[in-house]
Amino acid sequence: MLSIKDLYVSVEGMEILKGINLEVKPGEVHAIMGPNGSGKSTLANVLAGKEEYEVTSGSVLFDGEDLLDKAPEDRAKDGLFLSFQYPVEIPGVPMVNFLKSAVNEHRKHKGEKELTAGEFLKLMREKMDMVDMHPNLTNRSVNEGFSGGEKKKNEIFQMALLEPRLAILDETDSGLDIDALKTVANGVNALRSPERSAIVVTHYQRLLDYIVPDFVHILYKGKIVKTAGKELALELEEKGYDWIKTEN
Amino acid sequence: MEDQDKILSEVTQGEYKYGFVTDIETEIIEKGLSEDVIRLISAKKEEPEFMLNFRLDAYRRWLKMKMPNWAYLKVPPIDFQAISYYAAPKKKAQYESLDEVDPELLETFNKLGIPLEEQKHLAGVAVDAVIDSVSVKTTFKETLAEKGIIFCSFSEAVKEHPELVQKYLGQAVPVADNYFAALNSAVFSDGSFCYIPKGVRCPMELSTYFRINAANTGQFERTLIVADDDSYVSYLEGCTAPMRDENQLHAAVVEIIALDRAEVKYSTVQNWYPGDKNGKGGIYNFVTKRGVCRGVSSKISWTQVETGSAITWKYPSCILMGDNSVGEFNSVAVTNNYQQADTGSKMIHIGKNTKSTIISKGISAGKSDNSYRGLVKILPGAKNSRNFSQCDSLLLNDTCGAHTFPYIEVGNKSSVVEHEATTSKIGEDQIFYCNQRGIDTEMAIGMIVNGYAKEVLNKLPMEFAVEAQKLLQISLEGSVG
């Protein structure tokens, strides 16, 4: 599904990713862990197509097509979703309008009929239950006045609506209490299927108790320095990142 | 939301949508301005003597005045002798039914998306359509007449209700108020007149569509709205103009008089040709709009969405004479490419316990300049008065400009004036967030800008709000590189 080969990425002339290789097959969940500044968020953002990240060499294929060549909105419509670490506020734009546009852009892309307001509201209610979103939130402007936890839930709610084939969760667990964490994890797990994959970027093992990964990668100084099964996360939790730092 | 989808699909269409010229036989008098021309206009319109005197007085004062240059605008020299001051469709001006109306004219309305035949059936909207200076069709007149409401062309008002016109004309905007108001007072061709009698709540929105049509004809509209004691009216003005290469001058005057406890809401969507991408062509819009809250507890609110014109010079104002009277100004002004706008409001507090609010949202793109200029003046006698002003500017790139020129004069110690201002650039992060959800940049900007302007758009009557949203989106097309 996703195939990253020897990816080098710079931001403002500084090299952040130094040769990333990663294969994600349909149905797999990959966790990417690592200390601050190792390049985790850069990887998430470069896959989503954020402008200021410059790919200096390497390639990324998504379903066999060159991902890096595509505009961010086309990547999204092809089924790549990024749950933002810091979801931005858009004052004055009601959540419900924003989401309806997003869903209908996806549907148009797939050649499906656009949803009417009524159909959309029905779909929205369904998905809200899934992540335990308070109905009032969708009447507010996008992320405006949302608490940290609500913003993260809102990301998962959007993911549930858009049903991406590859979801990238960029530190979705940060700032969440244990109940919110469970809710978020439940939302992600509900979407798991043999066709859908996820990349979970996190600092802590905690989230991986609830979203059990098939693979754990450790990113350090722009490179994946270790890859193993879910037990790697536990080992990391026990030994701390110093273990990685001394080894590399 | 359905409308929003429609807007979005319309956004993908290119240049100025309303650029076409209707081919109607037009009677135009020779170019140039003199006392003879003014006498000719007045004679053609069969005006009573007080009108001719009003015009001549204005003209003589105008001759002694200079074009104002204090605005943050670069205005090319205007040759007032190269303008024809009167153009009227040759055919009979007033029609009994739509069948009598020139089909070309109806087609114009169809292109604008405001077919009169539909408008007639539309609930609650009466249309006084002004094409090139002479009113062609007034609908819903009978319904209004039952309530004693007068809504007609200005010329008709001069003929049918000269006492009202004479009593109120020039009361809000004196003949020599400013250069362009004086010019308008001298040569205005037609416009709308509206009178709401005592205690009457106008049952529908009154709506006027203006349209500049004949080449090289300055348009000098005159609107006078009088709301008698305890009355209410909501008035809509919408504008589009055909595309032209040469610049066209527009100098309108709108006067509102609100008597005791009367309320007037005046909403404008202005979408005149702004010139092309290189700044060629476009309308010069020098408008004087002023309301006088003459009665106690009266209220006048101006709401405007300005997306058009090459140059906009416009300060809808309120003079709060009556005790406890209220003035409001809500504005969204968009400039793109080489457009220049210097717009804002004046709130003059004279009566006690008067209140005013100014909400201004400027949006600049391209190489345009967008200025807010406002005066809040509280006279010594206006005890316990309040003003709140909020002036926000949103920049879409690094080549446009936003400027704020607030003037505040407070003449007593019991009044409170608050002024808030922000300037921000559209967030790359906001656009990326939309992109990541499958929404392209053009659409994202439309959403973000509409969100930013929402506070003002919400004040517009429903049918106008939708049009305004479309305009915001259309006028910012191609503004992101």
pLDDT in tens, B99-156: 655 565 555 455 555 545 444 433 234 445 554 444 434 456 667 888 999 988 888 8
Whole-number average pLDDT of chain A: 90
Whole-number average pLDDT of chain B: 80
Q: Per the CB < 8 Å rule, is A92 touching B453?
A: yes
What is residue B12's predicted lDDT score, i.e. its pLDDT? Answer: 34
Facing residue for B437 by CB, picked from A49, A76, A141? A76
Query: Which of A68-82, A90-104, B192-206, B208-222 has the lowest average pLDDT?
Result: B208-222
Residue A73: beta bridge partners? none
pLDDT-derived band of residue B88, with 50, 70 and 90 as boundaries?
low
**Would you call B450 an interface residue with chain A, using a CB distance cutoff of 8 Å?**
yes
What average pLDDT does this structure show over B50-60? 94
Q: Residue A233: which CATH number?
A: 3.40.50.300
Provide, as residue numbers in chain A, all residues whose Cβ is less than 8 Å from the Cβ of B447.
Answer: 90, 93, 97-98, 101
B304 close to B472: Cβ distance less than 8 angstroms: no
What average pLDDT does this structure show over A12-39? 92
What is residue B119's predicted lDDT score, i.e. its pLDDT? Answer: 41
Q: Per the CB < 8 Å rule, is A162 touching B438?
A: yes
A61 close to A242: Cβ distance less than 8 angstroms: no
pLDDT-derived band of residue B389, with 50, 70 and 90 as boundaries?
very high
Determine which helix (DSSP H) or strand (DSSP E) holds A97, and give its type and residue range: helix A95-109
Alpha helices for B131-189 (secondary structure H): 141-146, 154-160, 162-168, 179-187
What average pLDDT does this structure show over B384-398? 92
Facing residue for B1 by CB, picked from A73, A84, A117? A117
- Total beta-carbon pairs less than 8 A apart between chain A and chain B: 88
Q: Is A8 exposed, middle or buried (0-12, 13-18, 19+ CB in 10 A)?
A: middle
The CA distance from A115 to the nearest CA of chain B, in Å, is 10
Taking Cα atoms as reference points, which of B135, B170, B236 lies closest to residue B466? B236
Q: What are the phi and psi torsion angles at B74 (to 5°)?
A: -105, 105
Strand intervals (E) in A78-195: 80-83, 90-94, 141-142, 166-170
Q: What is the domain count for chain A?
A: 1
d(CA A40, CA A42): 5
Q: Which of B363, B435, B436 to mutate to test the interface with A (most CBs of A within 10 A)?
A: B436
Alpha helices for B300-409 (secondary structure H): none
How, if at all, do strands A53-62 and A2-11 pair? antiparallel
Q: Where in the sequence is the domain holding A227, given as residue range(s)? A: 2-247
What is residue B126's predicted lDDT score, i.e. its pLDDT? Answer: 47
Strand ranges of the sheet holding A14-24, from the earlier edge strand across to the other edge = A14-24, A2-11, A53-62, A65-66
Using alpha carbons, list the distances in angstroms from residue A145 to A44, A140, A150, A151, B211. Answer: 25, 8, 9, 9, 43
The amino acid that residue A23 corresponds to is E
d(CA A81, CA A157): 12
Q: Is the pLDDT of residue B78 over 80?
A: yes
ipTM: 0.95
What average pLDDT does this structure show over B19-39? 71
d(CA A41, CA B31): 68
Provide, as residue numbers in chain B, all residues whose Cβ is less than 8 Å from the Cβ of A81.
Answer: 436
Token representation of residue B173: 């905007």
More confident site: A218 or B206 = A218
**Would you call B449 an interface residue with chain A, using a CB distance cutoff of 8 Å?**
no
d(CA B389, CA B357): 6
pLDDT-derived band of residue B27, with 50, 70 and 90 as boundaries?
low
d(CA B157, CA B136): 14
Q: Per the CB < 8 Å rule, is B434 touching A98?
A: yes
Q: Is the pLDDT of residue A37 over 80?
A: yes
**Would you call B12 an interface residue with chain A, using a CB distance cutoff of 8 Å?**
no
d(CA B151, CA B138): 8
Smallest CA–CA distance from B457 into chain A, residue: A92
Q: Per the CB < 8 Å rule, is B453 touching A97?
A: no
B22 close to B104: Cβ distance less than 8 angstroms: yes
Q: Over the stretch B408-446, which tens digit does the pLDDT of each residue have?
A: 999 999 999 999 988 888 888 999 999 999 999 988 988
More confident site: B93 or B146 = B146
pLDDT-derived band of residue B213, with 50, 70 and 90 as boundaries?
very low
**Would you call B436 an interface residue with chain A, using a CB distance cutoff of 8 Å?**
yes
Residues in chain A: 248
A213 close to A239: Cβ distance less than 8 angstroms: no
The CA distance from A102 to the nearest CA of chain B, in Å, is 6
Q: Per the CB < 8 Å rule, is A93 touching B450?
A: yes
Supply the DSSP string of A205-243, one letter for each residue.
SGGGGTS--SEEEEEETTEEEEEE-THHHHHHHHH-THH
**Would you call B428 an interface residue with chain A, using a CB distance cutoff of 8 Å?**
yes
Provide, as residue numbers in chain A, all residues whose Cβ is less than 8 Å from the Cβ of B437.
Answer: 76, 98-99, 101-102, 105, 158, 162
Smallest CA–CA distance from B456 into chain A, residue: A92
Smallest CA–CA distance from B441 into chain A, residue: A73
Strand ranges of the sheet holding B205-211, from the earlier edge strand across to the other edge = B134-138, B125-131, B205-211, B232-240, B263-271, B299-306, B326-335, B355-364, B386-395, B416-425
Facing residue for A90 by CB, picked from B430, B436, B443? B430
Provide, as residue numbers in chain A, all residues whose Cβ is less than 8 Å from the Cβ of B448.
Answer: 90, 93
**Would you call B424 an interface residue with chain A, using a CB distance cutoff of 8 Å?**
no
How, if at all, do strands A215-220 and A29-33 pair? parallel
The helix-helix angle for B462-475 and B2-11 (nearest 10°) equals: 30
Token representation of residue A158: 């959007």
B343 close to B315: Cβ distance less than 8 angstroms: yes
What is residue B123's predicted lDDT score, i.e. its pLDDT? Answer: 28
What average pLDDT does this structure show over B466-481? 70
Q: Per the CB < 8 Å rule, is A88 touching B429?
A: yes
Q: Is the pLDDT of residue B288 over 70?
A: yes
What average pLDDT does this structure show over B337-348? 92
What average pLDDT does this structure show over B303-318? 90
Provide, as residue numbers in chain A, all residues whose Cβ is less than 8 Å from the Cβ of B422.
Answer: none
Q: For chain B, give the percent of residues with pLDDT over 90.
A: 42
Coil, strand or helix at B218: coil
Q: Per the CB < 8 Å rule, is B1 touching A100?
A: yes
Q: Is the pLDDT of residue A186 over 60?
A: yes
Q: Which of B5, B434, B458 to mutate to test the interface with A (most CBs of A within 10 A)?
A: B434
Taking Cα atoms as reference points, which of B33, B22, B28, B59 lies closest to residue B44? B28
What average pLDDT does this structure show over B237-254? 69
Query: Which of A71-80, A121-130, B435-444 has the lowest average pLDDT?
Result: A121-130
**Would you call B435 an interface residue with chain A, using a CB distance cutoff of 8 Å?**
yes
Facing residue for B451 by CB, picked from A87, A92, A99? A92
pLDDT-derived band of residue B265, with 50, 70 and 90 as boundaries?
very high
Smallest CA–CA distance from A85 into chain B, residue: B433
Q: Is the pLDDT of residue B98 over 70?
A: no
Strand intervals (E) in A12-123: 14-24, 29-33, 53-62, 65-66, 80-83, 90-94
Determine which helix (DSSP H) or strand (DSSP E) holds A113, and give its type and residue range: none
What average pLDDT does this structure show over A214-237? 90
B220 close to B85: Cβ distance less than 8 angstroms: yes
Query: Which of A170-179, B101-110, B260-269 has the lowest average pLDDT?
Result: B101-110
Q: Which of A80, A93, A103, A168 to mutate to test the interface with B (most CBs of B within 10 A)?
A: A93
Q: Per the CB < 8 Å rule, is A101 touching B8?
A: yes
The domain ranges of chain B are 2-475
Q: Is B250 left (phi over 0), alpha (psi -120 to 50) or beta?
A: beta
Alpha helices for B64-140 (secondary structure H): 103-112, 116-121
d(CA A161, CA A99): 8
Query: Which of A167-181, B119-133, B350-364, B425-439 has the lowest average pLDDT?
Result: B119-133
Q: Is the pLDDT of residue B68 over 60?
A: yes
Q: Is the pLDDT of residue B203 over 90?
A: no
**Would you call B458 an interface residue with chain A, using a CB distance cutoff of 8 Å?**
no
What average pLDDT does this structure show over A168-192? 87
Provide, as residue numbers in chain A, all residues whose Cβ is less than 8 Å from the Cβ of B468.
Answer: none
pLDDT-derived band of residue B276, with 50, 70 and 90 as boundaries?
confident
Taking the model in full, what pTM does it have?
0.79
Q: Is B13 exposed, middle or buried (0-12, 13-18, 19+ CB in 10 A)?
A: exposed
Strand intervals (E) in B109-262: 125-131, 134-138, 150-153, 190-196, 205-211, 221-227, 232-240, 248-250, 253-258
